[in-house]
Structure 1
Amino acid sequence: MESLRPGDPPEIGGYRLLARLGEGGMGEVFLARTASGRPLALKTVHRDLSRDPDFADRFAREIRANDRVRSAWTVSVVDFSAAGASPQWLATEYVAAPSLGEWVHRNGPLAGPALWSLARELFAALVAVRASGVVHRDIKPGNVLLGRERPYLIDFGIARAVHDPRHTRTGAVIGTPGFLAPEQATGAVAEAPADVFSLAAVLVHAATGHSPFLAEGEELELPGLLHRVVHDEPALDGVPEGLRSLLGECLAKAPRERPTADEALARIGATGDEWSRAAPPSLAADAGHREAELHRALAASQPLPVPVPMPPPPLSLPSAFAATPPLPSPLPGATRRVPWAVGAAAAAVLVVAATLVIKMPWNERADGNGDGKGGGSGSAPPSAPFSAMPRSWVGTWAGTGPGTPDADGVTRARTGEFSVTVTLNAGSVGDLVGRQVSKVKEVSTGRDLGCTEALELRQTSGDRSVFAAVTSHPTDPDATFACPKGNLYVLTMAEPDRLTLETEGAQSAGAPDTLTRGS
């Protein structure tokens, strides 16, 4: 972590910058914070890349696609720049941990249980990545973080956004020399086997301190290194015997000859020392130092002022779906009728009709049993607000509704299954605490009209919480419609593993009425 330099901006995208974490050929990485103090890794892309007329759309598409990757071994995308921003940027969760490349450079190769545990964890990570239908294409020591509990794979999509051969010159090389697959070295579009090759090369580096195509301390010009990757056999001296055979097969020149990530993981074995026990003891001390440094940076910083939200303009609806008068709102700008994220498709009437509305009156108790004290309706006053969301809310919640298959397709979209998934993390009011993903399939076209949103906690009272969507993008990365921003959601925890969504009217027809906690 380094101090900001003269000329560095104080903020990017509304996030206060605190320090520099690194820089490379694609851009710079900063430590940033949300208004409530949650740390973020904010990565900018060099302005000359942003000036590429195709880059902004490519960047947004890749990040949306890779935001589908949700696993224990990846960090979540929190936010990213809108098209036209300069520079383009991406904010993710921050992990106070060294990269594998940094660790090996300072401390030497891993050995014994630590190396085997790293191999097991990273192949498990790759299995999860493939289950999401994503190819990383830039797995390298610098993109593996050695966290306390487990290693993490980071930087999905950045390399592709910058050098996608579908959009750039023929023969563009995607990846990092010394760790890319032969098909990448020749400029071909790499698929899942390329990640297996790169991960094997990374594990050779972890075991020996260098790429399988470079001798210790050797430096080689790019053309010579790429020639070795394509034509020469990998050097595996120093790799433990039990792991050497598997990594040699993963480094086969022909993609079809490499084992899959699932096959490699099965050969390593599902059991063994957990990373937290197998990792070098000095790694815990390193993590403690970084966490203390982070705490000091957060304590010394000041959040950006948070603007007070203005009341939204009234929503214009067809007369058949006119809104009922709103009740008094607990927050500035909050309305009683709140749309769950459904995209604005090209046909405006279909967009309005496809919107799911959630209504949570704040003058009713979660169990619906008013005690007759206070208020003309005889209902109980709301619980006192908390500053932090209770731990009982943390987790993944999902629900599926029938959709509206019998709608007329004109005043209201004809849709099939309507699924909603909400992932919530611990946080305080003003913090970005989660993600909401809606999938709503239009029957006639098969289009997904759903949206994916980053959720900020606005208010919580234990059994009820208010969330604001601070960003919103189509769930389908290839969709061309725009999603509304600023939606407010009020959820009630009716039971420990069930959130209720009180809905009303035709606009919310077909939506799930409850979300249940995932396993």
Structure 2
Amino acid sequence: MELLDESDPSAVGGYPLLARLGEGGMGRVYLSRTVSGRPLALKTVRAEVGREPGFEERFTREIRNSDRVRSPWTTAVVDFSQAGHRPQWLATEYVAAPSLAEWVQRYGRLPEPCVMALAAELCGALGAVRAAGLAHRDVKPSNVLLGRRSPLLIDFGIARAAEDSRHTMTGGVIGSPGYLAPEQAGAGGSGAPGDVFSVAAVLVYAATGLGPFSHPGEEVSAAVLLYRIVHKEPNLAGVPEALVPVLRSCLAKDPRQRPTAAAVGALLERLGARTGGWPRLLPETLERDLAAREAQAHALVGASLPPPVPPAPGTAPAVPAPGSTAPAGGPPGRWLTGRTGRRLAGAGAAVLLAGAGTLLVRHLSGDGSGGASGGGTTGGAPSPTPTAAALPASWAGTWAGTGPGTPDADGVTRARTDRFAVTLTLHPALRGELTGKQVSKVTEKGTGRELGCTEALQLREVRGTSMVFEAVTSHPTDRTAAISCPEGNIYVVTMTDPATLSLGEEGAQSAGAPSALTRR
């Protein structure tokens, strides 16, 4: 992470830029944040790259594909630029973690238990990509983040539908030399079997510090690596003995002879490597590295947030509701993504929806007009300056809506629910005062347990037809439920007509929630 300099803009798409995370041929990646203080990784595109023929289509495909793969092993798309906008940009959730390439270059190969766990997790990631009908087609060490809760597979810039084996340009090679499959190196078609080959090559790198077609101390051209991939056998010296036959089968030259990711996952499970074990196996050095990155990001985001709005004169500061308790379990002060829920699964299904039974809505543009298009917004984070200091009388009353829940969830990465009801009660208030409460009722399928949260809301800002609320207290709607309901979440709601408040999602949160509330 580097500090910004004079060549960096202060904001892109309405999102403040806080630091530079990296730079490549396509553009720069910055640390940014949402209005609520949620860290983002914001990728910008160089002007000359954006003008290349066909780039707009490829960039749009990256956004669409990234948003299709919702899993514990991928980052969620939060916002992006509209077609024709310059500069082009994409904002995803930020994970404070090194890439596998960065880690190995700095500290060397991973310990054997970590390699086994990484193998299981990456097979899970491929399964999620495949389930979305895609093939990644550029799995390599720099596209694997060593996250705290799980490794993550990033950068879907050249992913295509699984049945589509075309290349970006006629005769072009898609992927990164040393990790792509022979069928890619030979300018042929590629798909899910190619991803299996690439993951195996990445695991060899994680275990030995070298790709399966590289030799110690050498510097070879891409052409030499491509030749070896097509014609030479992989070097598996230094790979954990139990993994050698598995990886050898994955590195078969003929894609028809490779096992599927699911089959590899089953083999690894018989060897004792299962998804979910990664957090317990992190080396101490990686734990320290992650903690330092998280602290740095937290400090930068915190320093960029405006000071809290003080209560209006003559009003008492907000205090917790009677009987409410501090959050127990789960990360305080943030709602849960699919990945977070998955990693808390061992603490009970109720924790899976801790904080997810809240009214989580997507922030809109600063003028309150929305501007969403294709899942993104044009203005990005709302303007910090409110246009009024009181909740309009037209907002007072009770609003309610019911969403479908998540009845088809797997019960591991996300709880199965068959009802997601939200009731929002508002009364006139000045900015900084309590203005009402929100009650979520989320019913777990099969058990009937209540997993929702009840929050006291403070009016934080008013922007035309949009209101910004902050949850100053939060507790389980069912006070006997063993779930965590974090405080401090920021919600933005828009009145689309006198009888309707529109709700949205920021990233992948609140699956199954109602999309709108109507006046009761």
Structure-2-length-normalised TM-score: 0.63
Q: What displacement does 1:205 show?
A: 0.1
Amino acid at match of 1:330: W
Q: What displacement does 1:190 show?
A: 1.5
| Count of aligned residue pairs for this structure pair | 383
Q: Which residue of 1 aligns with 2:79?
A: 79
Q: What displacement does 1:191 show?
A: 0.8
Cα separation, 1, equivalents of 2:369 and 2:17: 29
Distance change (3 Å), C-alpha of 1:312 and 1:235:
closer
Distance change (3 Å), C-alpha of 1:45 and 1:456:
farther
Query: 503, 511, 514: which one pairs with 1:489?
Result: 503
Distance change (3 Å), C-alpha of 1:361 and 1:154:
closer
2:358 paired with 1:309 = no
Structure 1 residue runs of 5 or longer lacking an equivalent are 314-326, 341-357, 365-373, 375-381, 399-423, 432-454, 470-485, 492-496, 506-519
Q: Which residue of 2 aligns with 1:297?
A: 300
Q: Which residue of 2 aligns with 1:249?
A: 249
Q: What displacement does 1:198 show?
A: 0.5
Aligned residue for 1:269, secondary structure, equals: helix
Structure with the greater relative contact order (CA < 8 A, sep ≥ 6): 1 or 2? 2
1:176-216 per-position Cα deviation (integer Å, ceiling 9, x unaligned): 11111111112233210011000000000000101111112
Q: Which residue of 2 aligns with 1:330?
A: 395
**Is the 1:35–1:306 Cα contact (8 Å) retained in structure 2?**
no
Structure 2 residue runs of 5 or longer lacking an equivalent are 308-362, 372-391, 404-420, 446-452, 461-465, 478-488, 495-499, 506-510
Cα separation, 1, equivalents of 2:364 and 2:127: 40
Distance change (3 Å), C-alpha of 1:302 and 1:183:
same
Amino acid at match of 1:140: K
Aligned residue for 2:41, secondary structure, equals: strand
Distance change (3 Å), C-alpha of 1:47 and 1:337:
farther
Aligned residue for 1:119, secondary structure, equals: helix
Distance change (3 Å), C-alpha of 1:123 and 1:216:
same
**Is the 2:182–2:230 Cα contact (8 Å) retained in structure 1?**
yes
Cα separation, 2, equivalents of 1:396 and 1:2: 45
Q: What displacement does 1:336 show?
A: 8.6
Q: Which residue of 2 aligns with 1:411?
A: none
**Is the 1:42–1:91 Cα contact (8 Å) retained in structure 2?**
yes
1:402-451 per-position Cα deviation (integer Å, ceiling 9, x unaligned): xxxxxxxxxxxxxxxxxxxxxx9x9x9999xxxxxxxxxxxxxxxxxxxx
Cα separation, 1, equivalents of 2:14 and 2:514: 32
Q: Cα RMSD (Å) of the superposition?
A: 4.6
Amino acid at match of 2:395: P
Distance change (3 Å), C-alpha of 1:310 and 1:121:
closer
Q: Which residue of 1 aligns with 2:28?
A: 28
Cα separation, 1, equivalents of 2:17 and 2:370: 30
Moved beyond 6 Å, runs of 4+: 303-307, 334-338, 358-361, 395-398, 428-431, 461-466, 497-505
Deviates more, 1:222-231 or 1:51-60: 51-60
Cα separation, 2, equivalents of 1:312 and 1:267: 49
Query: 282, 296, 314: which one pairs with 1:279?
Result: 282
1:351-374 per-position Cα deviation (integer Å, ceiling 9, x unaligned): xxxxxxx9978469xxxxxxxxx9
Structure-1-length-normalised TM-score: 0.63
Amino acid at match of 2:137: R
Distance change (3 Å), C-alpha of 1:166 and 1:269:
closer
Aligned residue for 1:178, secondary structure, equals: coil
Identical aligned residues as a percent: 49
Cα separation, 1, equivalents of 2:63 and 2:245: 35
Cα separation, 1, equivalents of 2:101 and 2:29: 16
Cα separation, 1, equivalents of 2:54 and 2:212: 35
Q: What displacement does 1:328 show?
A: 4.7
Amino acid at match of 1:8: D
1:48-105 per-position Cα deviation (integer Å, ceiling 9, x unaligned): 2211243213321332133111111111111111111223221111111111111111
Amino acid at match of 2:303: A
Distance change (3 Å), C-alpha of 1:490 and 1:218:
closer
2:40 paired with 1:40 = yes
